[in-house]
Amino acid sequence: MDVMTPQTVRVTEVLKETHDTCTLKVEPRNGKRLPRFAPGQFSMLYSMGNAELPISISSDPAITETQCYTIRSVGLATQSLNVMKVGAQFGVRGPFGHGWPMGEARGKDVIIVAGGIGLAPLRPILYEVFHNRELYGRLVLLYGTRSPQDILFRRELKEWEKKKDTLVMTTVDYGGMSWKGNVGLVTRLIGRIRLDPTRTIAMTCGPEIMMRYVAYELQDNKGLDPGDIYLTMERNMKCGCGFCGHCQFGSHFICKDGPVFRFRDINKLMNKYEV
Amino acid sequence: MSCTNCTMVCPTCFCMTVEDGNAVDGSQASRTPVRDSCFTLQYSYIHGGSVRSSAGARYRQWLTHKLATWHDQFGESGCVGCGRCITWCPVGIDITKEARADERRFLGRPLMQIHDLEHILVDHPFVQGMHLEHVRTLLGCCSNRHFDSGEHLFRGGNESNEFYLIREGNVSLESDSPGARSPAPVESRSGGDILGWSWLVKPYRWHFDARALTAAAVLIVDARCLRDKCDTDHDFGYEILRRFAELMVRDVRSMSLQLIDMYGTRRA
């Protein structure tokens, strides 16, 4: 099976984002090319002999020579990737899945709500919007993390704040004495923005429970249609292309029907435990 | 319980996982696909724990996948009604009972397909006049299947471990003829007909090809299962053999009529 054969890539840069998260920039070996990807798509990363796991591509889709993967170390599989140094090699399969609805977002205001590591799969949207600024309306990024130490892409967040028609707001669950920013859940930020529900599209990524409440907040307080709210799901995956059965969420295969879903389509399933 | 027996014997369960291995000296890494079951905790494991950590949730996943979401995914039932999961369950969990309980609880209307399979079988001419008890015995070896037009039901030379009760559609029996570019059609069969008796005599090998001429719906009878049942229950075995003897005689007669070319347009 061709889709099951990984392509070897080499780490060219390791960016330490936080104490447990790093971004690996990789290039293909032997002059081969990396396949193009759409924002929101993911790849299966294979650290040889250890494990294979799905990780979203967090880099600029316009850059074709290299790709970035932002990985938080939470278990053995992610740890084995997290400790990689420049020059290390691992396998990549993909990209898989349906990405963010960028076509549908054209001409609309874009609200992005991220939680923790959930900012990584959303970052390609920001690159895409900034490259084609005239195609999209206002851009709002609401970002919540556990603590100030867990904020990803700090330097870029500062750059994005200064861009035209862009609002970036960050909040943390617990701040500490030196933190002068917002403290509280990311859903609290939604109440503070103004948006026109007829020409806005929302995309969110984070823990499932966060995404659910973000969607409720956007719906109930801002009048957004559940068809205009998109979120990205996560499940155990072994193949990435609908064979292995692991990522089933009701009748959806998250790997090929998602990972990005319209909230309206999975709303009911999200209310059930252990689906 | 979560012993995974049902998923291991289910003919439609397709889940797989990949096992990673290493050579002791670290020179090689291997990946081996193996069968997996949604009843294990690893199956749904993501960082922070398993999504379906309770056995109840895992059973719900399996049951709803077989009986409900399979329809959304593949347009048919994920349960073929074979009863293997019931047979192999060490504590006697019965999918039909669970489904019936669920249908009462949630739907108030029938959901299960096993009854339907019985209705389909009873309607088939092959079992006309057969004792209901024997029909039920036969039902235990039956599964329902659809073939697309052009798809082969079986190929000559392959092992023959089943026969077919055609419900709908046309199926052509074909034979490789020397020199011909495509196989020569021998006879066509359609709804209500029976297809295949190679399962009955050793060495249990198909003699002809069978190809669906149109989309075809068939009941497949597992011959290994049936042979066992015929051996243990001779009354049932006699009933089946008698029906197949009729069929064989009819087939031989029609073939000889084909041979003598009764329309008389014999080519020189």
Tell me the pLDDT tens digit for each residue of B248-258. Answer: 888 888 777 77
The H or E element that residue A86 is part of is none
Contact B16 A235 (CB under 8 A): no
With 90 as the cut, is the pLDDT of residue B26 above it? no
Q: Rounded distance, CA B22 to CA A47, Å?
A: 12
Q: What is the mean pLDDT of chain A?
A: 91
**Which residues of chain A make contact with B16, given a CB cutoff of 8 A?**
238-239, 243-245
Nearest by CB to residue A251, choosing from B14, B31, B69, is B69
- Closest chain B residue by Cα to residue A75: B47
Higher pLDDT, A54 or A220: A54
pLDDT top residue among A257 and B111: A257
CB contact under 8 A, A52 and B69: no
Higher model confidence: residue B184 or residue A112? A112
Shortest distance between the Cα of B56 and any Cα of chain A, in A, equals 9
pLDDT for residue A156:
92
Chain A interface disruption, residue of B38, B44, B76, most A CBs within 10 A: B44
Rounded to whole angstroms, the Cα distance separating A269 from A252 reads 10
Task: Note the pLDDT of residue B104.
Answer: 61
User: Residue B247 is encoded by which pair of tokens?
Assistant: 């069929």
Q: Which residues 177-236 of A are in CB contact (within 8 Å) with B?
A: 234-236
Interchain contact, B18 vs A273, CB within 8 Å: no
Partners of A245 on chain B (C-beta within 8 Å) are 14-16, 36, 38
pLDDT, position B108 = 47
- Would you say the ipTM is above 0.90? no
A236, A245, A275 ranked by CB distance to B14: nearest: A245
Q: Per-residue pLDDT tens for B88-123?
A: 999 888 998 888 877 666 554 444 455 578 888 888
Span B19-44, mean pLDDT? 90
Categorise residue A167: left if φ over 0, alpha if ψ from -120 to 50, beta otherwise. beta
For residues A157-164, give the mean pLDDT: 91
Mean pLDDT confidence for A165-191? 87
- The pLDDT tens digits of the residues spanning B145-194 come to 888 888 899 988 888 999 999 998 899 988 876 555 677 787 888 888 89
Beta bridge partners of A43: A55
Cβ distance of A251 and B52 shorter than 8 Å: no
pLDDT value, residue B268: 44
Pull the structure tokens for residue B216. Answer: 């075809």
pLDDT score of B110:
45
Q: Rounded CA gap, A111 and A169, in Å?
A: 11
Q: In whole angstroms, what is the distance from residue A125 CA to residue A102 CA?
A: 8
Residues of B in contact with A274 (CB under 8 A): 51-54, 57, 60
Whether the pLDDT of residue A253 is over 90: the answer is yes
What average pLDDT score do residues B210-227 get?
Answer: 91
Across the interface, whether the CB atoms of B51 and A235 are under 8 A apart is answered yes
Looking at residue B178, what is its pLDDT? 58
Report the predicted TM-score, pTM, of the whole model to 2 decimal places: 0.66
Measured between CA atoms, the residue of chain A closest to residue B73 is A251
C-alpha A217/C-alpha A224 separation (Å) is 9
